[in-house]
Amino acid sequence: MIIHLERCIGCQACTVACKFQNSVPDGQFRTKTPANGLKGTYPDVSLYFIKEACQMCKNAPCVSVCPTNASYYNEDGVVLVDVDKCVGCMYCLTACPYDARFINKETGAADKCTFCYESKVSKGEKPACVSTCVGGALMFGDLNDPLSKVAQYLAKHKAEVLKPEFGTHPTVQYIFEGVVK
């Protein structure tokens, strides 16, 4: 997933679409897009919105600490949770440097962004947040395919990952171009 921050207007359509698509319980969220980086004094002020969710790490501590293998990589490298195997120990919540997980109060299992893998992506559709994004700030595709739109977009825009110092090798890419950090 690519997130181009300059195009995000903070409307929270992604937040709502995600809750609706994934039946996320009241008061819990797989993604949020809070305001950040407020700078300056009125009338010369700026801020940006930054979508927060699972970063789909390639070296995910949530997977390695899980004692029951409930947290796992699927065949496409997407980090998922097998609700039936999860014992709710919360090791993964503690291990995740992005605070991306929570215990779903209805299932009792760890929950987080799934890239809408089962309901959308595995059927060739885009994740709910991506197809809902009014600003076109969210893009999704196969970065390993150099002909994909996301790969071509990244070739033209400098992207970075959040908190690289944790060494989890996130795959979600943020473009800060045009944003005052």
Pick from 5, 7, 31, 175 the residue near ligand SF4 by CB under 6 A: 31
Apex CA 140: angle with CA 135 and CA 145, to 5°?
140
DSSP 126: P
Applying CB under 6 A, does 86 fall inside the site for ligand SF4? yes
- Choosing from 2, 8, 78, 96, the residue that interacts with ligand SF4 (CB under 6 A) is 96
Rule CB under 6 A: choose which of 2, 8, 18, 150 binds ligand SF4: 18
DSSP state of 86: -
Question: Would you count residue 80 as binding ligand SF4 (CB under 6 A)?
Answer: no
96 and 61 in contact (C-beta within 8 Å)?
yes
**C-alpha to C-alpha distance for 108 and 30, rounded to whole angstroms:** 15
* Kind plus residue range of the DSSP H or E element containing 94: helix 91-95
The 38-67 contact track toward ligand SF4, x by CB under 6 A, reads: ---------------xxxxx--xxx--xxx
Residues 138-167 that bind ligand SF4 (CB under 6 A): none
- Is there a contact between 128 and 20 (Cβ–Cβ < 8 Å)? yes
Interface residues with ligand SF4 (CB under 6 A) are: 17-18, 21-22, 30-31, 53-57, 60-62, 65-68, 70-71, 79, 81, 86-92, 96, 98, 100-101, 110, 112-116, 127-129, 168
